[in-house]
Amino acid sequence: MFESAELGHKIDKAVLREREPRLREELLDAQFDLREQGQFPVIILIAGVDGAGKSETINLLYKWMDPRYLSTQTFSIATDEERDRPYMWRFWRVLPPKGRIGIFADSWYSETLERGMAGELSAADLDQRLDQINRFEAMLVNEEALVLKFWFHLSKQGQRERLTALERDPRTAWQVTKDNWRHHKRYDRLQEMADHVLRLTNTPWAPWVVVDGSDDRYRMLQVGSVLLGALLRRLADPQDQSFPVAPPMVPNIDQLDVLTALDLSRKLELEEYQAQLAKWQGRLSELTRHPKFQRRALVLAFEGQDAAGKGSSIRRVTAALDARQYQIVPVAAPTEEERAQPYLWRFWRHIPRKGRLTLFDRTWYGRVLVERVEGLCGEADWLRAYAEINDFEQELHQDGVILVKFWLEISNQEQLRRFQEREQVAFKRFKITPEDWRNRDKWDLYHQAVCDMVDRTSTGIAPWTLVEAEDKYFARVKILRTLCRRLEEAL
């Protein structure tokens, strides 16, 4: 993939003087339009060989554009906070919002390349990681991001000459380190690995641009022109940028599904409930204080019909925990800040560090439930969300997060009874809203959405536990028992 970048591309000073002012003007105009429209973010990945002009290019973009609306992220050795969370967490938390440009001086490719070169990843593991990266970038694009990936290239001889020249000049000698020369010694290995990585991740939605870094003027105009062209095309065509990533839904031809198959008559008497509650709360307390748990994290996802008892079930779980150990995240309509990011961003930011728990009262499944039913997103958005959610949960699992998901089910009649009770009891009135009553009119649509959700996202690593919640005593004990058993298996 690097042959064209070794042809010796050059731009003379006169051409640069002629073209640079116009390019800078157009880039500033495009950046202004990007900010004013606020319809999509721009993510620029900078990668390549040492000495090919990566840092110089970043500095140039800050010179040519409005630096107030640029951000640069670089990732070296992971901090303790980052090591205690899934690998991708450090990238998710710094994604630029809509209307802004984020430059990644290092990215999700950096560690993959390093580990691949060091032999820490087998060929199969490397390809699996690259497939995950492709899916992640497809998700970013489907969430409206413009992703631009630049690889700055120098030949082996060109790199040696560039490093030597920089080292000899007192003004630039500080830029050359022992690591640069160490990297030069393994140049051939890097090129072999980079060729493989770029070939497998050169996708239609996030293609690589290989830039000849041997001539500074050529590099400047090439990167500026590519960035400007991509911005103008996207600003002129705000149409859906989605790539289909999910098969369509297939309806059942009978009335049997995962919800109608539940036995909602199951219940516990008060005395048995109290005994079982104490037993499983005690066991949960022991498990979350186990030394092995300090090397894991726990995420609990609670979904269910309105008034099914999610809140009261969460309280029975947290009653067994140290309040310093957990966080409860209630999920409602996204804020302005959250709407400016990919929809999974607001959940990634709350993933706990090792030894901690996060309980989500409603979750990332809102995309395939309320947003689907209420028409808050397009069909392509919620269809592809199943695969994106599975990818998200797979990443959590691979990094040692224990994920337990509960759906609490009650009948239509029981929900009506609980709604009416809430309206009559003063300290429960805050729990009932006009929105709850309106949602009852779409019971059948939500029922189908839940069945589709379970069918497409109940996986071996993150299965759904369907809870018969007609009787609150039974539901609470089943949740605690399931949670304890999942923890015992994991630890």
pLDDT band at 239 (very low <50, low <70, confident <90, very high): low
| Residue 67: per-residue pLDDT | 95
How far, CA to CA in Å, does 478 sit from each of 149, 259, 315, 319, 411? 48, 16, 14, 16, 18
Clarify whether residues 284 and 151 are in a common domain. Answer: no
Clarify whether residues 199 and 276 are in a common domain. Answer: no
Q: How many CB atoms lie within 10 A of CB 129?
A: 21
Residue 438: pLDDT over 90:
no
Q: What is the dihedral of CA 300, 304, 307, 310, to 10 degrees?
A: -10
**Residue 50 structural domain:** 3-236
pLDDT band at 240 (very low <50, low <70, confident <90, very high): low
Clarify whether residues 51 and 166 are in a common domain. Answer: yes
Clarify whether residues 99 and 10 are in a common domain. Answer: yes
Clarify whether residues 292 and 201 are in a common domain. Answer: no
| 21 found inside a domain | yes
Clarify whether residues 155 and 25 are in a common domain. Answer: yes
Distance between CA 359 and CA 135 in Å, rounded? 27
What amino acid occupies position 356? R
Strand 326-330 and strand 357-361: the pairing is parallel
Clarify whether residues 291 and 151 are in a common domain. Answer: no
Clarify whether residues 228 and 274 are in a common domain. Answer: no
Average pLDDT in the 169-178 region?
A: 86
Clarify whether residues 409 and 297 are in a common domain. Answer: yes
Q: What's the CATH code of the domain at 36? A: 3.40.50.300
| 252 found inside a domain | no
The crossing angle, in degrees rounded to 10, of helices 270-288 and 310-318 is: 60
> What's the pTM value of the predicted model, to 2 decimals?
0.86
| 84 found inside a domain | yes
CB 280 within 8 A of CB 477: yes
State pLDDT tens for residues 184-212. Answer: 888 888 888 999 999 999 998 999 999 99
Q: Which of 145-154, 179-188, 431-440 has the lowest mean pLDDT?
A: 431-440
State pLDDT tens for residues 16-40. Answer: 999 999 999 999 999 999 999 999 9
pLDDT band at 370 (very low <50, low <70, confident <90, very high): very high
What amino acid occupies position 308? A
| Residue 317: per-residue pLDDT | 97
Give the total number of structural domains in the chain.
Answer: 2
| 117 found inside a domain | yes
Distance between CA 45 and CA 167 in Å, rounded? 27
| 261 found inside a domain | no
| 394 found inside a domain | yes
